[in-house]
A and B are shown apart, each in its own frame.
Chain A
């Protein structure tokens, strides 16, 4: 992890409990626009990605809550957290007793934030900082995908990849607060939670976050 990314995350966030998952503490920011600007300046890229890693998103919060109640889903198993952001789902899986947790995110600041957040929660989380969607899904027992359906192009890449992961035998858990591009079929709802986010990110600060299991291809319809 480059020292500059780590310093950037520390400079622009505050370590604090996650609403609804108070046992997890993350480096979180208050204002998305100011931080986005700072990331644009830091990277020299006016098209820098949104600082997804500095907020606990509704889909990730729902997966975190579900894993707290269903530790057996990941206990002793190998878990991959796709589009990890802050690392919230990865940390929740590690806390639930996963045998090995890998978080994936393409944003270098997210890579730094995940490492910092894992350490702040005394969890071991391996981090991959490249675009795994261009590769075959790795051999893991469970894939977590929190809040991946906010963008049509991303959703169009994520869904086939998750289906391939499912076909290879991984269980796939999807967390979502009602994004437009959530797949309409092939998901089984496992639970719904009232999740508290912020109007910095959403139209409402209280959203319904749902957790789904991706059906295998044979039963998908």
Chain B
């Protein structure tokens, strides 16, 4: 099985995330890291690689300099990475992102595309579904477990409504994952070393047969008009007592504030 995992390089959440004057994310403010939700789908792909011999390719769209973030995915166990990067892509909206990634996928042989639930920066959560639409592929969202079902299908346990359901989808298909897929593995030292030798292909818009005016910032369908940081919260109070004393103190505190 050939799996492409969509991964997004996002600013490290431990850094200072900020928007530039154009309302776009200032990507120079913090080094890019792999989007957290994408690590869960990558983990699911790597488990299929471990059990089924699947081959895992990372596909990302991001600014030049995103290679270090992708390198972590390679260190975790992906076989290769493809980075679509082009100056014209700055300011891309979700639709542009789907179109670019779909164009990249047309040049990569695959059976299964995995996407994370959403990204830590944009948070749109629509790119996986959009790609399925553009490529006319079946889509399963909310995946909590993904297993091979013979050669040409996967069985997906998904979160639906208040419960779960299990569906089988023929390949090729797009599956959008959740954090229930399982904790992402840490790269081993051997994996980190091995990642240096793995293929990291870089593609421009021209390589994908796309014109700069058709996608990217010039063709953005949404523009950020205003921004507001989240309201500051009062400092948390940490109760450092033994569990029984701490429980009493917390209950007293909640009563004093009228919360219970």
Contact = CB atoms under 8 A, between A and B. Distances in A.
Interface of A: 32-33, 36-37, 49-50, 150-152, 180, 201
Given A33-B197, A151-B190, A201-B193, 11 more contacts: A33-B193, A36-B193, A36-B194, A49-B190, A50-B189, A50-B190, A150-B188, A150-B189, A151-B189, A152-B186, A152-B188
B29 to A, nearest CB: 20
20 contacts: A32-B193, A33-B193, A33-B196, A33-B197, A36-B193, A36-B194, A37-B197, A49-B190, A50-B189, A50-B190, A50-B193, A150-B188, A150-B189, A151-B188, A151-B189, A151-B190, A152-B186, A152-B188, A180-B186, A201-B193
Nearest to A151: B188
Contacts of A150: 188-189
Interface in B185-209: 186, 188-190, 193-194, 196-197
Interface residues of B, number: 8
A49 B190 CA distance: 8
A112 B196 CA distance: 27
Interface in B171-194: 186, 188-190, 193-194
Contacts of A49: 190
Contacts of B190: 49-50, 151
A33 B192 CA distance: 11
Contacts of B193: 32-33, 36, 50, 201
A37 B196 CA distance: 12
Give the top 8 A-B pairs by smallest Cβ distance, nearest first: A150-B189, A151-B188, A50-B190, A33-B197, A32-B193, A50-B193, A33-B196, A180-B186
Nearest to B186: A180
A134 B41 CA distance: 35
Contacts, number: 20
Nearest to A203: B192
A22 to B, nearest CB: 26
Main secondary structure of the interface of A (DSSP, over half): loop
A85 to B, nearest CB: 12
Contacts of A50: 189-190, 193
Contacts of A32: 193
Interface in B139-191: 186, 188-190
Nearest to A47: B190
Interface in B210-237: none
Contacts of A33: 193, 196-197
Contacts of A180: 186
Nearest to B191: A151
Contacts of A36: 193-194
Contacts of B196: 33
A180 B197 CA distance: 23
A203 to B, nearest CB: 9
Contacts of B188: 150-152
Contacts of B197: 33, 37
A211 B49 CA distance: 38
B119 to A, nearest CB: 25
B34 to A, nearest CB: 16
A37 B197 CA distance: 10
Contacts of B189: 50, 150-151
B2 to A, nearest CB: 20
Interface in B31-78: none
Nearest to B68: A203
A198 to B, nearest CB: 12
B110 to A, nearest CB: 24
